[in-house]
A and B are shown apart, each in its own frame.
Chain A
Amino acid sequence: MNEFVERQMKLTWRPPKKSYDVVIVGAGGHGLATAYYLATRHGMSNVAVFERGYIGGGNSGRNTTIIRANYGIPAAVRFYQRSVDLYRGLEEETGRWLMHQQKGILWMAHSQAAVRAERMRAKLNTEFGAQTEWVEPRQVRELCPELDIEGGGRWPVLGASYHPQGATARHDRVVWALAEGAMERGAHVHQNTPVEGLVLDGERVTGVRTAAGDVAAGAVVSAVGGHVSRIAAMAGLRLPIRTHRLQAFVTNHYQQQFGPIVASSELFFYASQTARGEMLLGAEIDPQPSFSYRSSHDFVQDVCRRALCLLPFMSNLRVLRQWTGVCDMSPDYSPIMGQTGVNGFYLTTGWGTWGFKAIPAGGEQMAELIATGEVPELIAPFGLDRFARDRTMADRGSAGTH
Chain B
Amino acid sequence: MSLRIPCPTCGDRSVHEFVHGEIRRVPDHLTDPDERDLDFAFNHDNEEGVVAERWFHAQGCRRWFEIRRDTTTDRIVEAEES
A292–B43 contact, CB under 8 A?
no
Out of B15, B41, B43, B45, which one reaches A287, CB within 8 Å?
A: B15
18 further contact pairs, Cβ within 8 A, besides A239-B46, A286-B3, A291-B71: A238-B27, A238-B44, A239-B43, A240-B42, A240-B44, A287-B18, A287-B19, A287-B20, A288-B3, A289-B46, A291-B48, A292-B72, A292-B73, A292-B74, A296-B1, A298-B14, A298-B16, A387-B42
Listed A/B pairs (6) with beta-carbon separation below 8 Å? A229-B47, A238-B39, A240-B44, A286-B3, A298-B2, A299-B2
- Known A230-B48, A289-B22; contact A297-B73, beta-carbon cutoff 8 A: no
B-facing residues in A276-300 (Cβ within 8 Å): 286-292, 294, 296-299
Contact flags (1/0) for A296-336 with B, using CB distance below 8 Å?
11110000000000000000000000000000000100000
User: Which residues of B lie under 8 Å from residue A286 when comparing CB positions?
Assistant: 3, 15
Out of B16, B20, B27, B46, which one reaches A243, CB within 8 Å?
A: B46
Q: Is B10 an interface residue, CB under 8 A from the partner?
A: no
Out of A227, A241, A299, which one reaches B44, CB within 8 Å?
A: A241
Contact flags (1/0) for B53-81 with A, using CB distance below 8 Å?
10000000000000001011110000000
Interface positions of A (Cβ within 8 A of B): 227, 229-230, 238-243, 286-292, 294, 296-299, 331, 387-388
A227–B72 contact, CB under 8 A?
no
User: Which residues of B lie under 8 Å from residue A290 when comparing CB positions?
Assistant: 71, 74
Interface positions of B (Cβ within 8 A of A): 1-3, 14-16, 18-20, 22, 27, 38-39, 41-48, 53, 69, 71-74
B3–A296 contact, CB under 8 A?
yes
Across the A-B interface, give the 6 residue pairs with the lowest CB-CB distance, nearest first.
A229-B46, A240-B42, A296-B2, A298-B2, A238-B43, A292-B74
B72–A291 contact, CB under 8 A?
yes
Tell me which of B2, B14, B16, B20 has the highest count of chain A C-beta atoms within 10 A of its own C-beta.
B2
A-B contact count (CB 8 A): 67
User: Which residues of A lie under 8 Å from residue B72 when comparing CB positions?
Assistant: 291-292
B44–A288 contact, CB under 8 A?
no
User: Which residues of B lie under 8 Å from residue A240 when comparing CB positions?
Assistant: 42-44
A228 to B, closest residue via Cβ: B46
B74 to A, closest residue via Cβ: A292
Out of A241, A288, A292, A388, which one reaches B38, CB within 8 Å?
A: A388
User: Which residues of B lie under 8 Å from residue A297 when comparing CB positions?
Assistant: 1-2
Bound CA–CA A243/B74 (angstroms): 13
Bound CA–CA A326/B74 (angstroms): 13
Bound CA–CA A229/B42 (angstroms): 13
Out of A227, A296, A331, A388, which one reaches B48, CB within 8 Å?
A: A227
User: Which residues of B lie under 8 Å from residue A227 when comparing CB positions?
Assistant: 48
Question: What is the minimal beta-carbon distance from A228 to any residue of chain B, in angstroms?
Answer: 8
User: Which residues of B lie under 8 Å from residue A289 when comparing CB positions?
Assistant: 20, 22, 44, 46, 71
User: Which residues of A lie under 8 Å from residue B19 when comparing CB positions?
Assistant: 287
Question: What is the minimal beta-carbon distance from A244 to any residue of chain B, in angstroms?
Answer: 10
A301 to B, closest residue via Cβ: B2
A241 to B, closest residue via Cβ: B46
Bound CA–CA A232/B22 (angstroms): 20
Bound CA–CA A237/B65 (angstroms): 30
B1–A229 contact, CB under 8 A?
no
- Known A296-B2, A298-B16; contact A239-B74, beta-carbon cutoff 8 A: no
Tell me which of A239, A291, A387 has the highest count of chain B C-beta atoms within 10 A of its own C-beta.
A291
B71–A292 contact, CB under 8 A?
yes
Bound CA–CA A240/B20 (angstroms): 17
Bound CA–CA A227/B72 (angstroms): 11
Tell me which of B3, B16, B20, B72 has the highest count of chain A C-beta atoms within 10 A of its own C-beta.
B3
- Known A288-B3, A291-B71, A294-B74; contact A331-B42, beta-carbon cutoff 8 A: yes
User: Which residues of B lie under 8 Å from residue A292 when comparing CB positions?
Assistant: 71-74
User: Which residues of A lie under 8 Å from residue B53 when comparing CB positions?
Assistant: 288
